[in-house]
């Protein structure tokens, strides 16, 4: 009994953490054929995401609200996008003063400028999390349908070891959310909602949250009209 007791305590502790929502959830799905209409819609929606060539980025103006360590800040700026692992984000306050200016590449995050309150570690976390949240699946192998929520769900562990879960809208194939497990225990979760899309099929409003870091980001692009907003059943102009 002395040898078994520690194991029982550990098992009970893990169960308690799971009951408190500290562990990453597991989604029960049924397989979806890659030749189905559902997977075709997902492929079409993902193919419509922004693409840039080597010489020209996709430049999108934005308005942002950032919550960090109990503080709320607003900003506007330009998002220069080549891909989820290659973009630059420059943000300024209402007076036009630069709050931060940073770049994500395959080599990591580089912060060129930052104002007080936006120290380098914060900007690095914000840009790195945004990069993780915008990463798309390389294929749809393993795509499943969850009858309880009516969503199409795909779970994959990426090359960096982080487990990604993508949630797609079943009728349209649009990516509605991404969940990234940032640690091995599932206690550090990054969640990104794609609340609406524009006429090009590009994300128009992104909401990011990482409770373990006390970080929330709402990013609204202002370059075109919104379409297929959740719950509207159609399009609406901004």
Question: At residue 1, does pLDDT exceed 60?
Answer: no
For residues 40-62, average pLDDT:
89
pLDDT > 50? residue 22: no
Q: Measured between alpha carbons, how far apart are the two ends of the chain, in Å?
A: 67
Q: Read off the pTM.
A: 0.82
**Cα angle 68, 210, 140; round to 5:** 145
Share of the chain above pLDDT 70, in %: 83
pLDDT at 235 (0 to 100): 31
- Residue ranges covered by each domain of the chain: 30-232
Residue with tokens 């795509």: 143
CB–CB of 189/27 below 8 Å? no
The CATH class given to the 30-232 domain equals mainly beta
At residue 23, the pLDDT reads 58
pLDDT over 90 for what percent of the chain? 59
């Amino acid at each position: 009994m002395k040898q078994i007791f520690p194991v029982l305590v550990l098992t009970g502790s893990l169960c308690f953490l799971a009951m408190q929502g500290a562990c990453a959830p597991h989604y029960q799905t049924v397989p979806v054929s890659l030749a189905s209409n559902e997977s075709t819609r997902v492929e079409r929606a993902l193919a419509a995401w922004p693409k840039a060539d080597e010489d020209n980025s996709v430049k999108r103006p934005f308005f942002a609200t950032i919550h960090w360590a109990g503080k709320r800040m607003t900003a506007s700026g330009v998002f220069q996008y080549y891909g989820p692992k290659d973009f630059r984000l420059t943000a300024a306050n209402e007076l036009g003063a630069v709050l931060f200016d940073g770049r994500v590449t395959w080599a990591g995050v580089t912060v060129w400028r930052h104002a007080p309150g936006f120290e380098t570690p914060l900007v690095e976390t914000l840009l790195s999390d945004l990069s993780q949240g915008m990463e798309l699946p390389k294929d749809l192998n393993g795509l499943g349908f969850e009858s309880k929520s009516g969503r199409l769900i795909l779970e994959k562990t990426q090359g960096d070891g982080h487990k990604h879960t993508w949630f797609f809208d079943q009728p349209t194939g649009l990516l509605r959310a991404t969940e990234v497990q940032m640690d091995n225990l599932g206690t550090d979760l990054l969640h990104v909602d794609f609340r609406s899309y524009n006429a090009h099929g590009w994300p128009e409003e992104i909401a990011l949250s990482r409770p373990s870091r006390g970080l929330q980001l709402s990013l609204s692009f202002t370059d075109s009209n919104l379409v297929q907003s959740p719950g509207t059943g159609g399009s609406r102009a901004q």
